C-alpha cells in the first residue's frame, strides 16, 4: 500500500508512524510545506484517555512523551481581586516543538519519508498514484476547500479575537484570569508546558479588541500591551511570540470525511475551541482510529467508512462541549456580577462535561463551599432548594415540562389526565405543568387536545388540581394556555406529527397566510376584529384557569403556535401595526399577556414560554429573544420559560445535552428575570449543575418524567437526600429505599497458607 499524507502536524505525523509500524511494507510519505521546526502555538495538552491509546498503540512514542510531560491537577480562577483554586482535574502537557520532534524521530526510525518545506501535490492528483491519501492539512485545508463539493464543509467564524503567546515561567495550575478594562472584558488562558515555560492565550470580543486599539498595533506592541494588562497574573514578566497574530477561531464541520481514497484527519475534518484543549487530542485520536480501521477492514473505502462512523459521534460530542465553552467565553461579561465562587463554578462547568457531581468527586471542599454560598442547607443538593415566584413558593427546582398528551375528548381532560398529572405530582416535582391547553375549539392542534373554553372543561381540570393539592401537598400545578395558529387541525402525534387530518379539518388562522410546510393547510390572516376575539378567548380561559385552581399560568408564545407566529419575522409578514419591527411583532402577544394577567389572581405567578431562536436564517435570534423576554418582564411576567425552534419546518437545530440552556442563561443575566431552562436536561446532575452555576432558576424535564413519574423522588434517593425538598407521599414511603438485589457481598478469602 502506498500512503500519501498531506500535512506534518501531530495528526499527520502520528498517522504516518502508526500506519508504517502496523505494516512495514507500506510506503508512507508525508508532505509538510513548513520547515520541521515551524509550528503555531507553544504547549499541547493531552488527556489520560488519549495517552492510554498512544501507550497501547506505540509504547515508544508514549515513553518519549512521558519523559517530557508536565503534570498538574489544579485550576485557578481569578475574578475581581479574588482567586479560587479547584483541584483534582489532572492535566498533562508538553511543548508543541517537542511533540513534533518526537513524532518526526519516530517516523524516520520506522522508514517514513518526510518531505519538509515542500508543498504537497493536489489530493486529487495524489489519489491517482497512491492507495490512500490522508489530508491532515489543518484548519485552512486546501484539500477540503478544493474538494468542497465532496466533503460538504461548513465553517463558522466566531466573535472573539485571540493570540497565542508564551511566558518564560511555569504556572503552577491551569490559570483563567479576567481583566475588566475601560474597553471591555479580556481573558487569559494559561498553563505550563515545560518546567520553565507556559502557554498564554489572550482572548476578547472583536469589538473590545478594536476599542483597545489592538487592531492597529504592531505585533510586538500587542504583546507588550497584553503583558501589561495581565501584569498581576504574569508577575510582571514579559510575553513572547513565535510569529503569532491575532485571529478568530473557526469551527469546521464536514458532512463527509472521505471521498474516494482521500480521507480528512484532524483540523481539516473538524475543530474544537482551545478552551477545552482538544485540537491535538482529536487529531491523535483520529490517527489511532484510522490506523485501526485500515487494519480491520479489507479495503480503503470500507476502512474509511468505518473510521468516519466511529469518529464522527465522538467528535460531534466534543464540538458541542467546545461550542458551549466558546460561547460562554464570548458572553463572559454576562457572568461577571456573580459571586466570585459561583463564577468559578460556572466557568468550570461551562462545557457541560464537568458537572456538579463530577466536580464534587474532583474537589468536594470547593463544591461544598459554592453550595454554602448559594444557600444550600447542609446535605441539600441545589435542586432541592426552594424558589419563590410571586406568592408561590416551590419546594424544589424541578418542573414537569408541558407535554401534549392528545387524549382529551371534545377538549375535556379525563381519567387519563388525572392519572398522568397526578402521578407526576406524587413523584416529587416542585411544579407540574399541563400540556398546552387550548383557548378555543379552532385553536386546538389536534382533535385530542385539551381546552379551557367551556365550563365543563374547567370542572374537569378542577378535578385534577384538587387531587394534586389534596394528595400531594407542596406540589404546585400550572396550566399552559395557547392557540395552535397555523399548526392546528393535524393528526394525533403518533398518527403523523404535523400532518393534516384526512377529514374533519377546521379552518386555521395566523399572523400571515403561510402554511407550516408543504401540504399543510394555509391559514387565514387575522383581521383586527379577530385579534380582539382571540385576545378575549385567552382572557376567558385565564379566568377559568383561576377558577379551576391552578397555581401558575404560562402563556405559550413558542414553537410556532399562534402567538409565536406573531413574534418571528419568518412567520409574521404583516404590514399593519402588528408586523414589521420586533416592537410591532410583540404588540399582539403583549396585548394577550396583559388581558390574561388582568384576570389572573395578583398573588399567583404568570410565566411566558418563548422560542429563543428559530434555528433558521432570517428568524428570531438570541438578541431578539433578550428583547422579547425584556418586554414580557416589563409587563409583569414572573419568569421566562426558554425553549427554542419548532417555528418553521426548515429549521436546523443544534441538538445536544442541555443544548437550549445557553439561551436561558443569557436571558437570565441580561434581563435579570428568573428563567426556566428546558431541552435535553436528562439527569439530576444536570439540574444541580445549571442551578448552582446560576444559569437557570428552574429546570423543566419532559421525557425523563415519561420514563419515570417519580424521577424527582428517585433523584433524592440517589443523592441520599431526605429533606423537605423531596417529600414522599405517606402511602409510598415504604418505597423510598432502593429494592434489594442479589447478593454481591460474599466473604473474601482472608488468609493464604503456603506450604
Please give the grid coordinates belonging to residue 208. 473590545
- Report the relative pairing of strands 91-95 and 43-46 from DSSP bridges: antiparallel
Give the angle 355-361-366 at the CA atoms, nearest 5°: 80
CA distance 668 to 675: 6
**Which tens digit of pLDDT belongs to each residue from 261-313?**
999 999 999 999 999 877 888 999 999 999 999 999 999 999 999 999 999 99
Phi and psi dihedrals of 727, rounded to 5?
-100, 125
| Contact (CB, 8 A) for 211 and 183 | yes
Q: Within 13 Å, how many C-alpha atoms sit on residue 496's CB side?
A: 10
The H or E element spanning position 84 is strand 82-86
* DSSP 8-state secondary structure symbol assigned to residue 338: S
Q: How many helices (H) and strands (E) does the chain have?
A: 27, 29
- Report the relative pairing of strands 70-72 and 75-79 from DSSP bridges: unpaired
Q: Where does 512-595 show beta strands of DSSP type E?
A: 524-525, 552-557
What pLDDT does residue 91 have? 86
Please give the grid coordinates belonging to residue 388. 419563590
**Which tens digit of pLDDT belongs to each residue from 527-542?**
999 999 999 999 999 9
Query: Burial, 746: exposed, middle or buried (Cβ in 10 Å; 0-12, 13-18, 19+)?
Result: exposed
What pLDDT does residue 694 have? 96
For 664-695, the DSSP string reads HHHHHHHH---EEEESS--SHHHHHHHHHHTS
Query: Burial, 603: exposed, middle or buried (Cβ in 10 Å; 0-12, 13-18, 19+)?
Result: exposed
Most distant CA pair in the chain: distance in Å? 101
Query: For residue 658, what are the contacts with CB-CB under 8 A and spacing of at least 6?
Result: 352, 677, 679, 680, 681, 686, 690
What pLDDT does residue 755 have? 46
Catalytic residue status for 561: yes
| Contact (CB, 8 A) for 141 and 264 | yes
Q: What is the 3-state secondary structure (H, E, C) of 451-494?
A: ECCCHHHHHHHHHHHHHHHHHCCCCEEEEEEECCHHHCCECCHH
**Which tens digit of pLDDT belongs to each residue from 502-523?**
988 999 999 999 999 999 999 9
**Mean pLDDT in consecutive groups of 10 residues from the start of the chain, 755 residues:** 96 96 96 88 80 84 89 93 92 91 96 96 95 96 96 95 95 95 96 94 97 95 96 95 91 96 97 87 93 95 96 93 94 94 96 93 95 95 98 98 95 97 97 98 96 98 97 96 96 89 93 94 96 98 98 97 97 96 98 98 98 96 97 98 95 87 95 96 95 97 95 96 94 84 65 53
Cell 511570540, residue? 241
What pLDDT does residue 45 have? 85
What pLDDT does residue 437 have? 98
Q: Where does 220-304 show beta strands of DSSP type E?
A: 239-240, 247-254, 258-259, 262-264
The total number of residues shown for the chain amounts to 755
CA distance 318 to 324: 10
Taking the alpha carbons of 582, 587, 588, 593 in that order, is the dihedral positive or negative?
positive
What pLDDT does residue 181 have? 96
Query: For residue 731, what are the contacts with CB-CB under 8 A and spacing of at least 6?
Result: none
Please give the grid coordinates belonging to residue 206. 472583536
Phi and psi dihedrals of 85, rounded to 5?
-115, 130
Report CA-CA distances (Å) from 14 to 7, 38, 290: 11, 17, 11
| Contact (CB, 8 A) for 329 and 203 | yes
Q: What percent of the chain shows pLDDT beyond 90?
A: 86
CA distance 482 to 450: 11
CA distance 503 to 452: 24
Q: Which of 453, 561, 659, 721 is catalytic?
A: 561
What pLDDT does residue 169 have? 95
Residue 589, Ramachandran bin (φ over 0: left; ψ between -120 and 50: alpha; else beta): alpha
What pLDDT does residue 507 have? 95
Please give the grid coordinates belonging to residue 253. 464541520
Q: In 3-state terms, what secondary structure has residue 70?
A: strand
What pLDDT does residue 354 have? 92
CA distance 301 to 365: 52
CA distance 464 to 450: 13
Q: Within 13 Å, how many C-alpha atoms sit on residue 245's CB side?
A: 4
| Contact (CB, 8 A) for 573 and 514 | yes
What pLDDT does residue 753 have? 54
Q: Which long-range contacts (CB under 8 A, 24 or more apart) does 368-375 make?
A: 369/341, 370/341, 370/342, 370/344, 370/345, 370/692, 371/692, 373/339, 373/341, 373/342, 374/342, 374/692
Please give the grid coordinates belonging to residue 29. 510519505
Q: In 3-state terms, what secondary structure has residue 156?
A: strand
| Contact (CB, 8 A) for 90 and 43 | no
Cell 526510525, residue? 109
Alpha-helical segments (H) within 697-754: 703-707, 711-718
CA distance 610 to 591: 16
What pLDDT does residue 564 have? 97
Q: Where does 331-430 show beta strands of DSSP type E?
A: 387-389, 392-394, 398-400
For 4-30, the DSSP string reads EEE--SHHHHHHHHHHHHH-TTSEEEE
* DSSP 8-state secondary structure symbol assigned to residue 276: G
Q: Which long-range contacts (CB under 8 A, 24 or more apart) does 657-660 make?
A: 657/320, 657/352, 657/681, 657/682, 657/686, 658/352, 658/686, 658/690, 659/320, 660/612
- Report the relative pairing of strands 70-72 and 91-95 from DSSP bridges: antiparallel
Amino acid at each position: 500500500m502506498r500512503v500519501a499524507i498531506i500535512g506534518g502536524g501531530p495528526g499527520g505525523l502520528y498517522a504516518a508512524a502508526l500506519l508504517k509500524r502496523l505494516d512495514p511494507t507500506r510506503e508512507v510519505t508525508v508532505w509538510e510545506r513548513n520547515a520541521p521546526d515551524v509550528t503555531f502555538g507553544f504547549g499541547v495538552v493531552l488527556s489520560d484517555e488519549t495517552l492510554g491509546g498512544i501507550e497501547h498503540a506505540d509504547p515508544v512514542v508514549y515513553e518519549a512523551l512521558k519523559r517530557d510531560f508536565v503534570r498538574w491537577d489544579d485550576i485557578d480562577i481569578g475574578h475581581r481581586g479574588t482567586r479560587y483554586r479547584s483541584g483534582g482535574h489532572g492535566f498533562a502537557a508538553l511543548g508543541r516543538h517537542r511533540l513534533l520532534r518526537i513524532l518526526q524521530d519516530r517516523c524516520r526510525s520506522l522508514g517514513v519519508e518526510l518531505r519538509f518545506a515542500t508543498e504537497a501535490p493536489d489530493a486529487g492528483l495524489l489519489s491517482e498514484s497512491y492507495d490512500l491519501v490522508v489530508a491532515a492539512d489543518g484548519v485552512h485545508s486546501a484539500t477540503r476547500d478544493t474538494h468542497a463539493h465532496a466533503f460538504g464543509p461548513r465553517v463558522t467564524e466566531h466573535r472573539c479575537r485571540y493570540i497565542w503567546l508564551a511566558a518564560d515561567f511555569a504556572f503552577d495550575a491551569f490559570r483563567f484570569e479576567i481583566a475588566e478594562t475601560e474597553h471591555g472584558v479580556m481573558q487569559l488562558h494559561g498553563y505550563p508546558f515545560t518546567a520553565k515555560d507556559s502557554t498564554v492565550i489572550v482572548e476578547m470580543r472583536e469589538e473590545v479588541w478594536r476599542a483597545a486599539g489592538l487592531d492597529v498595533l504592531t505585533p510586538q506592541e500587542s504583546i507588550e500591551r497584553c503583558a501589561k494588562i495581565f501584569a498581576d497574573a504574569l508577575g510582571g514578566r514579559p510575553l513572547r511570540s513565535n510569529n503569532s497574530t491575532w485571529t478568530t477561531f473557526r469551527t469546521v464541520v464536514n458532512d463527509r470525511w472521505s471521498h474516494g481514497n482521500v480521507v480528512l484527519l484532524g483540523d481539516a475534518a473538524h475543530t474544537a475551541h482551545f478552551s477545552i484543549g482538544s485540537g491535538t487530542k482529536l487529531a491523535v485520536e483520529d490517527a489511532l482510529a484510522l490506523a485501526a480501521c485500515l487494519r480491520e477492514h479489507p479495503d480503503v473505502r470500507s476502512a474509511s467508512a468505518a473510521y468516519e462512523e466511529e469518529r464522527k459521534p465522538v467528535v460531534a460530542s466534543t464540538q458541542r462541549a467546545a461550542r458551549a465553552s466558546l460561547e460562554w467565553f464570548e458572553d463572559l461579561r454576562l457572568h461577571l456580577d456573580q459571586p466570585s465562587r459561583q463564577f468559578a463554578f460556572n466557568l468550570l462547568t461551562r462545557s457541560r462535561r464537568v458537572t456538579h457531581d463530577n466536580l464534587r468527586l474532583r474537589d468536594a471542599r470547593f463544591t461544598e463551599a459554592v453550595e454554602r454560598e448559594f444557600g444550600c442547607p447542609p446535605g441539600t443538593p441545589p435542586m432541592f432548594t426552594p424558589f419563590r415566584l410571586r406568592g408561590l413558593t416551590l419546594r424544589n427546582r424541578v418542573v414537569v415540562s408541558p407535554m401534549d398528551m392528545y387524549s382529551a375528548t371534545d377538549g375535556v381532560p379525563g381519567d387519563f389526565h388525572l392519572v398522568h398529572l397526578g402521578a407526576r405530582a406524587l413523584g416529587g416535582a416542585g411544579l407540574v405543568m399541563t400540556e398546552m391547553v387550548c383557548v378555543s375549539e379552532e385553536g386546538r392542534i389536534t382533535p385530542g387536545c385539551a381546552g379551557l373554553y367551556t365550563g365543563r372543561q374547567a370542572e374537569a381540570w378542577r378535578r385534577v388540581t384538587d387531587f394534586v393539592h389534596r394528595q400531594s401537598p407542596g406540589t404546585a400545578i400550572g396550566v399552559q394556555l395557547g392557540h395552535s395558529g397555523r399548526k392546528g387541525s393535524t393528526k394525533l402525534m403518533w398518527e403523523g406529527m404535523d400532518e393534516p387530518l384526512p377529514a374533519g379539518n377546521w379552518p386555521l388562522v395566523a399572523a400571515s397566510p403561510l402554511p407550516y410546510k408543504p401540504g399543510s393547510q394555509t391559514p387565514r390572516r387575522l383581521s383586527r376584529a379577530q385579534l380582539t376575539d382571540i385576545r378575549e378567548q385567552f382572557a376567558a380561559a385565564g379566568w377559568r384557569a383561576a377558577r379551576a385552581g391552578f397555581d401558575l399560568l404560562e402563556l405559550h408564545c413558542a414553537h410556532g403556535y399562534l402567538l409565536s407566529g406573531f413574534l418571528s419575522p419568518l412567520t409574521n409578514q404583516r404590514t399593519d401595526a402588528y408586523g414589521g419591527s420586533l416592537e410591532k411583532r410583540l404588540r399582539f402577544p403583549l396585548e394577550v399577556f396583559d388581558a390574561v394577567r388582568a384576570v389572573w389572581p395578583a398573588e399567583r405567578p404568570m410565566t411566558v414560554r418563548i422560542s429563543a431562536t428559530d434555528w433558521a436564517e432570517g428568524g428570531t435570534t438570541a438578541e431578539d429573544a433578550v428583547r422579547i423576554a425584556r418586554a414580557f418582564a416589563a409587563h409583569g411576567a414572573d419568569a421566562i420559560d426558554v425553549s427554542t425552534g419548532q417555528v418553521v419546518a426548515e429549521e436546523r437545530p443544534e441538538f445536544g445535552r442541555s443544548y437550549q440552556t445557553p439561551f436561558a442563561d443569557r436571558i437570565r443575566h441580561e434581563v435579570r428575570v428568573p428563567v426556566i431552562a428546558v431541552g435535553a436536561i436528562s439527569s439530576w446532575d444536570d439540574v444541580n449543575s445549571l442551578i448552582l452555576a446560576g444559569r437557570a432558576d428552574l429546570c423543566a424535564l419532559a421525557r425523563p418524567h415519561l420514563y419515570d413519574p417519580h424521577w424527582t423522588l428517585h433523584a433524592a434517593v440517589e443523592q441520599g437526600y431526605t429533606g423537605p425538598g423531596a417529600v414522599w407521599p405517606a402511602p409510598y414511603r415504604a418505597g423510598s429505599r432502593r429494592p434489594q438485589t442479589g447478593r454481591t457481598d460474599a466473604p473474601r478469602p482472608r488468609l493464604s497458607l503456603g506450604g
